[in-house]
Structure 1
């Protein structure tokens, strides 16, 4: 009987059932179109955002490369400057050493009282200067030793100036605190 009731209902309402099935299929199809349109719109927005981020990354990378190249150029200039200064000082020291070796110059050291930080004069009281200080003349070997110490001190001073300049330039260019 149930089958006959179902069959009877289907015979009476088959047009309504077909319309309901067709309406459901149409609604399903329209919703699918909406879904596809929404997904497509979101994909497009996502692609646009990724492109924007990619373009900004290229710009940032290019700017960083320019800053790095500028810093390297500045550091190379700083290196060249200090290398030239060091070479000039070494050449000056070599000329002094050659003059001492040739006997055309002598190395003299002003005597100083290290306890009072005053130059030792030739027993004249009052304000002292280098001109009235007692002087010690060194032998050629002693003069060369003093000039070697001078060259070493100059080289160390130039290296320190170079490194300080390098650090200052690096801090300025790369914003290091």
Structure 2
């Protein structure tokens, strides 16, 4: 009897049931369209953000490449400058060394009183000066040793200048 009751209600209200089903399908379809529109809008926003980030990355990389190239150019010029200065000083020292070896020049060292930091003079009266300081003349081997020390000091000084300039350029770029 229940089946017949259901069938009787369905026969009496079939138009209402179909209308309810059509309304539910229409609401479902409209919500689907709205959902698709929201997802499309989110995808477009996400794509735009990714493009913006990508474009900024390209700009940043290009700028960094330019800065790196400029730094490399500056450091190359710095290296060439200091290499030339070092070569000039070494050539000068080599000429002095050759002159000492030939006997055309001699290495003299002014004697100084290290306790008072005054030059030791030849006379006991008057103030000491470079002109009247006692001098010690070195042998050829001693002169070459002094010039070797000079060459080493010059090289070390040039390396220090180069490294200081290099560090200054690096710090300046950052």
TM > 0.5 fold call: yes
> 1:54-107 deviations in whole A, cap 9, x for unaligned?
000000011011111111111111111111111000000001011111111111
Q: Which residue matches 1:34?
A: 34
What is the root-mean-square deviation of aligned Cα atoms in Å?
Answer: 1.0
Query: Aligned partners of 2:126 and 2:3: how far apart in 1?
Result: 138
Q: Which residue matches 1:110?
A: 110
> 1:116-153 deviations in whole A, cap 9, x for unaligned?
11111112444332211111111111111110111011
Query: Aligned partners of 2:57 and 2:105: how far apart in 1?
Result: 65
What is the TM-score when the length of structure 2 is the normalising length?
A: 0.96
Runs of 4+ in structure 1 over 4 Å off: none
Tell me how many residue pairs correspond in the alignment.
174
Q: Does 1:170 align with 2:163?
A: no
Q: Unaligned regions of 5+ residues in structure 1, if any?
A: none
Query: Aligned partners of 2:166 and 2:126: how far apart in 1?
Result: 46
Query: Aligned partners of 1:75 and 1:127: how far apart in 2?
Result: 50
Q: Which residue matches 2:84?
A: 84
What is the TM-score when the length of structure 1 is the normalising length?
A: 0.95
Q: Which residue matches 1:70?
A: 70
- The SS at the match of 1:109 is strand
Query: Aligned partners of 1:167 and 1:51: how far apart in 2?
Result: 37
Q: Which residue matches 2:46?
A: 46
Q: Which residue matches 2:13?
A: 13
Query: Aligned partners of 1:129 and 1:161: how far apart in 2?
Result: 32
Q: Unaligned regions of 5+ residues in structure 2, if any?
A: none
Query: Aligned partners of 2:43 and 2:125: how far apart in 1?
Result: 95
